[in-house]
Amino acid sequence: MVKLVDAPHSKCGTLGYVGSSPTAPTLMNTYSRFNITFKRGKGCWLWDKNGNKYLDAVSGIATCSLGHSNGALRRSLSKQLKKIQHVSNLYHIEEQTKLSEWLTENSCAEAAFFCNSGAEANEAAIKLIRKYGSKITNNKESIILAAESSFHGRTFAALSATGQPKYHQGFEPLLSGFKFFKYNDFESVKNIFEECEKSNQTIAGILIEPIQGEGGVIPGNKKFFKQLREICDQKNSLLIFDEVQSGVGRTGKMWGYENLDIEPDGFTLAKGLGGGHAIGALLVGKKANLFVPGDHASTFGGNPFACTAALTILNEIKRMNLLHNVLIEKHSDRRRVGYPR
Ligand SMILES: Cc1ncc(COP(=O)(O)O)c(C=O)c1O
């Protein structure tokens, strides 16, 4: 029998971390969990080990795009497992190429890098902005801007770009070279550009969520994002969106940036892309298509299994006309939370 220990109450009020049930001692104590163990899922329903039925409004935290135990996903992944599951990126991977083609044909991007999670996708984006900075800065210090109350993940660079001090505590020193502005407040962005110019620093890029998730579900303001696009063009900085939470149809459009009437130079994806299977991606347009062999890599990133999962999700979203339904839901949400039109 497993002996249980008490997990401390979470300091973080974020959905998914609020439980206080004891965690098994053989697991590191990183989550305060709800006292529920799910055994089975079908569509938007979950059943716990006592047979209780739940409506799954959490969706694996924005992840199970087609719900649980989806037939198309089950069939394509079973088929893929019988063919080939994993090979190194030292070889061509047909499923990966197909996925990159789907993503680039259906977005503003021209190329993709695949990894395994949202934090990793943002790590790739941060490295990319740094690389871009090293090309444009003329020996000035290269700075990345991110928003206060943002969330970009738990790895070190993603954490350093996360504008929430509570996540930094105990892990300092963080990566240097990040500055924070107020979300939806262009004055605050402009001030940092001016300060940096005065102190011989160059802003290589901005990393920002088109809708802040953890920050309190704050939709990006169209005027603000247009101004961000303009200043990035004027100052030759990259504008990269973190669409880990908002991408893959979750706002009624396939990509979060489509709600803002501008296009970023690149964007990151994870969560909903794999429908519950681990995959992340950095998508880039021409200005940001900078990586060369040796710059970045991932052992598992873009393997045949993960790419088949993502391709199935994307094809099914299209085939089922799912975005139309999301849009209807969004309009009813708009009335409740005052989403800007
Ligand atoms: C906007 C955003 N970026 C990045 C992440 C990190 O993703 P992952 O947990 O897959 O590393 C999250 C996770 O909640 C997120 O909401």
Give the pLDDT band (50/70/90) at residue 19.
low
Asked if the structure places residue 154 within a domain, the reply is: yes
Residue 23's pLDDT is what?
A: 80
Round to whole Å and give the CA distance between 115 and 320: 27
Asked if the structure places residue 116 within a domain, the reply is: yes
In sequence order, what are the residues at sequence separation of 6 or more whose Cβ sits closer than 8 angstroms to the Cβ of residue 98?
307, 311
Give the pLDDT band (50/70/90) at residue 190.
very high
pLDDT digits (tens, 9 = 90+) for 121-162: 999 999 999 999 998 877 788 999 999 999 999 999 999 999
Phi-psi region of 170 (alpha: psi -120 to 50; beta: other; left: phi over 0): left
User: In angstroms, what is the span from residue 276 Cα to ligand 1's centroid?
Assistant: 14
- Mean pLDDT (the chain) is 91
User: In angstroms, what is the span from residue 178 Cα to ligand 1's centroid?
Assistant: 18
Among the ranges given (49-58, 70-79, 90-99, 321-330), the one the predictor scored with the smallest mean pLDDT: 321-330
pLDDT digits (tens, 9 = 90+) for 46-79: 999 999 999 999 999 999 999 999 999 999 999 9
Q: Which atom of ligand 1 is nearest to the CA of 280?
A: 10
Write out residues with Cβ below 6 Å of ligand 1. 117-119, 122, 151-153, 209, 213, 242, 244-245, 270
* Edge-to-edge strand ranges of the sheet holding 238-242: 111-115, 280-284, 266-269, 238-242, 201-208, 141-147, 178-181
Residue among 59, 151, 159, 267 to mutate when testing ligand 1 (max atoms within 8 A of CB) = 151
Asked if the structure places residue 176 within a domain, the reply is: yes
Asked if the structure places residue 294 within a domain, the reply is: yes
In sequence order, what are the residues at sequence separation of 6 or more whose Cβ sits closer than 8 angstroms to the Cβ of residue 329?
252
**Nearest CA residue ID for atom 3, ligand 1:** 152
Asked if the structure places residue 299 within a domain, the reply is: yes
Residue 333's pLDDT is what?
A: 56
Asked if the structure places residue 183 within a domain, the reply is: yes
Residue among 244, 248, 268, 269 to mutate when testing ligand 1 (max atoms within 8 A of CB) = 244
Place of tokens 């598992």: 300
Round to whole Å and give the CA distance between 180 and 187: 12
User: In angstroms, what is the span from residue 244 Cα to ligand 1's centroid?
Assistant: 6
Strand-strand pairing, 111-115 and 141-147: unpaired
Place of tokens 């009437």: 261
pLDDT digits (tens, 9 = 90+) for 193-216: 999 999 999 999 999 999 999 889
User: In angstroms, what is the span from residue 242 Cα to ligand 1's centroid?
Assistant: 9
- For the chain, the domain total comes to 1
Q: Which atom of ligand 1 is nearest to the CA of 119?
A: 11
Round to whole Å and give the CA distance between 271 and 151: 14
Asked if the structure places residue 78 within a domain, the reply is: yes
Asked if the structure places residue 322 within a domain, the reply is: yes
**Full residue range of the structural domain in which residue 228 is found:** 71-337
The CATH number of the domain holding residue 229 is: 3.40.640.10
pLDDT digits (tens, 9 = 90+) for 221-262: 999 999 999 999 999 999 999 999 999 999 999 999 999 999
